[in-house]
Amino acid sequence: MGDSENKEAVLNEVKADKSEAEKDASVKNADKSAKDKSAKKKSGFFRSLKAEFKKIVWPDKETITKETTAVVVVTVILGAIIALLDFVIKTGLDKLIQIG
């Protein structure tokens, strides 16, 4: 009986070792597949980024000049309007303070 008990104990140890080895292998495979997925995500991101850059239509020099001129003119006009309003409000408040 002692001999069969020893065989059972050895078999149980072998089974335990196998299951641990299988767990280790599955963890390694999971890590590897996670790394593969991460690499695929990154490469997919850069592929889509490259595709989006190909879709960009850069304006020509004439368009850039026209748009820049429009932005500068509108900025100067708005600045002048704000300065004028500031001057009118300040002058009006000064007159009110002198009266009061």
Domain boundaries, the chain: 1-56, 57-100
User: Which residues are CB-contacts of 67 (< 8 A; sequence separation ≥ 6)?
Assistant: 59
27-43 residue pLDDT tens: 666 666 666 666 666 67
Round to whole Å and give the CA distance between 93 and 86. 11
Give the pLDDT band (50/70/90) at residue 99. Answer: confident
Give the pLDDT band (50/70/90) at residue 63. Answer: very high
Is 79's pLDDT higher than 90? yes
Query: Could you tell me the pTM of the whole model?
Result: 0.46
The better pLDDT of the pair 45, 23 is held by: 45
